[in-house]
């Protein structure tokens, strides 16, 4: 992608009513359409979606393929795709507008900072689909199921909130299971190291992104774990 093309997409993002951006990571300020500052913390349903439906986050959403497909099949839930790359979000946000998907929004920010933009208990589910596994052990704390991220998710989720991880990477899958076994209050509800070898336990798992199709063509197996983070007693 040329630099000019990226700049054009960034400019177009500012005109999208379904995209909110944090331009400066040291200042917890969101900007909406035309760069206007907005405060949506605790107000996503009332001020953006204009309903009381539960909110589902997709973290590291990329082009938003998973966010879009879940939104299409579940009109009674609100979906927010989160990614730091504006050029990626541009694709999914544009499709959502073209299709009139009013239950979709996108948030451009660093994932470790999402608690700056949501109130505790504002989120009902979190999906982590094919994230960067950061295979180097020195970067294990950057994996989206590392304890420091779980601490953030736990704060944002409702008491019975769910977290889903879908990945083709065995090391990330095993790392996640080990973290959950040691994490206070974590409860694994379902796990499978080859989801397509049997009937799927939920329709959302049948969504296949461009990269997942590539992984399957390469003979990789897709792994999945669903869990909750309960309050310490």
Give catalytic residue positions: 132
* Per-residue tokens: 118: 């949501």
Q: CA-to-CA distance for 17 and 93, rounded, in angstroms? A: 9
Give the phi and the psi of residue 206 in degrees, each rounded to 5: -80, -5
| CA neighbor of 18 nearest in space, from 79, 109, 84 | 79
Structure-token match 């994996």, residue found: 143
Long-range contacts of 199-204 (CB under 8 A, 24+ apart): 203/73, 204/70, 204/73, 204/127, 204/164
Question: DSSP readout, 9-68?
Answer: HHHHHTT-TTEEE-S-TTS--EE-GGG-EE--TTTIIIIII-S-PPEEEEET-TT-HHHH
């Amino acid at each position: 992608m040329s630099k000019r093309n990226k700049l054009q997409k960034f400019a177009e993002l500012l005109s999208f009513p379904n995209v909110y951006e944090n331009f400066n990571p040291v200042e917890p300020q969101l900007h909406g359409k035309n760069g206007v500052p907005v405060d949506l913390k605790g107000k996503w349903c009332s001020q953006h979606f204009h309903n009381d439906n539960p909110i589902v986050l997709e973290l590291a959403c990329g082009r938003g393929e998973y966010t879009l497909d879940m939104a299409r099949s579940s009109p009674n839930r609100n979906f927010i795709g989160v990614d730091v790359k504006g050029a990626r979000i541009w694709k999914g946000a544009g499709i959502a507008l073209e299709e009139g998907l009013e239950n979709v929004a996108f948030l451009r920010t660093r994932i470790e900072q999402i608690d700056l933009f949501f109130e505790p208990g504002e989120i009902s589910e979190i999906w982590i689909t094919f994230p960067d596994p950061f295979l180097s052990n020195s970067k294990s704390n950057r994996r989206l199921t590392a304890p420091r991220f779980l601490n953030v998710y736990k704060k944002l989720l409702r008491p019975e909130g769910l977290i889903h991880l879908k990945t083709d990477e065995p090391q990330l899958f095993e790392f996640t299971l080990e973290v959950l076994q040691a994490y206070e209050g974590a409860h694994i509800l379902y796990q499978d190291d080859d989801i397509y070898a049997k009937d799927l336990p939920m329709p959302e798992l049948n969504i296949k992104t461009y990269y997942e199709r590539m992984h399957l063509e390469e003979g990789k197996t897709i792994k999945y774990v669903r869990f909750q983070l309960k309050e310490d007693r």
